[in-house]
Structure 1
Amino acid sequence: MKKNFIKTNNLNPHFIGSWTLESLSICDDLISYFELNLAKQKKGITVSGINPNIKDSSDILIQPKEIILPGNEAFKAYFEELFICYKNYIDEWPFLKNLAQKLEISSFNLQRYKPGQHFKAIHTERTSIDSSHRIFAFMTYLNDVEEGGSTYFSHYDLEIQPRKGLTLIWPAEWTHAHRGNILREGSKYIITGWICFAN
């Protein structure tokens, strides 16, 4: 696993961890899963429901218990690598070791954006009592994107361009408000979800 460092003009820490997956073939496997499961693809949804003026994407929602099902081996391989990233993240911020002893992955999404689509609204991952169990968000870009499609963290004026295997972990709090910038060309695939307090 290769640790990446995000350059910023701000001297304050932004608490966004960044890595590149060791096995980039996992990305190809997850894209193949998305494209082969047309019946599972739904319009992108947020806590306020389906609204393409907020989020315009195609998603496959996956529950953690589905990871072990036959045909879902790519998810198991992905989360093994994500766990290495997560361990590195809490090693960097030792305070989290006590806080993060009993956390789990909740439901997560495979998402595809086509030209003209994006997550338009600036948003955070913890917005109400219903999402208060979320501690961190994670996201891995599954392909390179040349035109548009970056993730913009508004409080830090920080823009991250998708690269295959680039994986981010960040706090789910208001401090990390963000949006997806409009995709200009090609397709953008991601896997994303939350690390939460165990139920």
Structure 2
Amino acid sequence: MKRSEIQEPKASPNFIGAWTTQPISICDEITCFFEKNVGRQVIGRTTSGLNQGFKSTTDISIPPSDICLPGYTAFQDYFEILHCCYKDYLDQWPFLQRFANTLDVGIFSIVRYQQGQHFNGMHCERVSSSLHRVFAFMTYLNDVDSGGSTYFSHYDLEIQPQKGLTIIWPADWTHAHRGNTVQGGTKYIITGWLDVT
């Protein structure tokens, strides 16, 4: 067997959608929620358990049903914004409208990376225990002084955290990525998945 090359008329897209969240103040509200809820913060876990060599973070995980509770208004506002981003993503890739209009947000997380922390293991969002995930989303809640970029290895694409930048990408192996070590300052994100129900 020999690998063949298929010529393409132009470079392939990376299927990572990006938007700037407005109003930007929503980022501060979510960060403030994280810092006020110390009792809900846990050392970051992955689907395979706790491994700080792979992922070193502090997280708050929130089931979507909680956003109707008092004190969660920021999340209601955030998901309205995210929904607009997702609708625009579907407009960019009309084929997705055949099946991707009925996805739901699952449990989502607010994540804090302090200096020296990372999600440095290359991973994708859809593995044997999470096959229901179709897309991932993430919004950077602040600018990062140094380091802390998200690196998509197959595209050699490095995204530096910018406050309000929201990205959506396919959850599969085609979008393997890692969160590089924060070299200076603190990094906050809100992240989760759009799932088949």
- TM bucket, shorter chain: over 0.9
C-alpha displacement of 1:13: 0.2
Residues 133-160 of structure 1 deviation map (CA, whole Å, 9 limit, x = unaligned): 1000000000001200000000000000
Residues 30-61 of structure 1 deviation map (CA, whole Å, 9 limit, x = unaligned): 00000000000000000111110111000000
The reply on whether 1:117 has 2:117 as its aligned counterpart is yes
- Residue 166 (structure 1) aligns with: 165
Aligned pairs, number: 188
The reply on whether 1:59 has 2:59 as its aligned counterpart is yes
Highest Rg: 1 or 2? Answer: 2
- Residue 195 (structure 2) aligns with: 196
Unaligned 5+ segments in structure 2 are 1-9
Residues 157-190 of structure 1 deviation map (CA, whole Å, 9 limit, x = unaligned): 0000000000000000000000001100110000
Secondary structure of the 2:182 match is coil
The reply on whether 1:132 has 2:131 as its aligned counterpart is yes
Question: Following the alignment from structure 2 to structure 1, what is the Cα–Cα distance between the partners of residues 26 and 124?
Answer: 27
Amino acid at match of 1:144: D
Q: Structure 1 length normalisation: TM-score?
A: 0.93
Secondary structure of the 2:168 match is strand
Q: Structure 2 length normalisation: TM-score?
A: 0.94
Identity, % of aligned pairs? 57
Question: Following the alignment from structure 2 to structure 1, what is the Cα–Cα distance between the partners of residues 175 and 143?
Answer: 23
Displacement over 2 Å in runs of 4+: none
C-alpha displacement of 1:197: 0.7
- Residue 27 (structure 1) aligns with: 27
Question: Following the alignment from structure 2 to structure 1, what is the Cα–Cα distance between the partners of residues 127 and 195?
Answer: 14
Residues 98-151 of structure 1 deviation map (CA, whole Å, 9 limit, x = unaligned): 1112110000000000000000100000011x2111000000000001200000
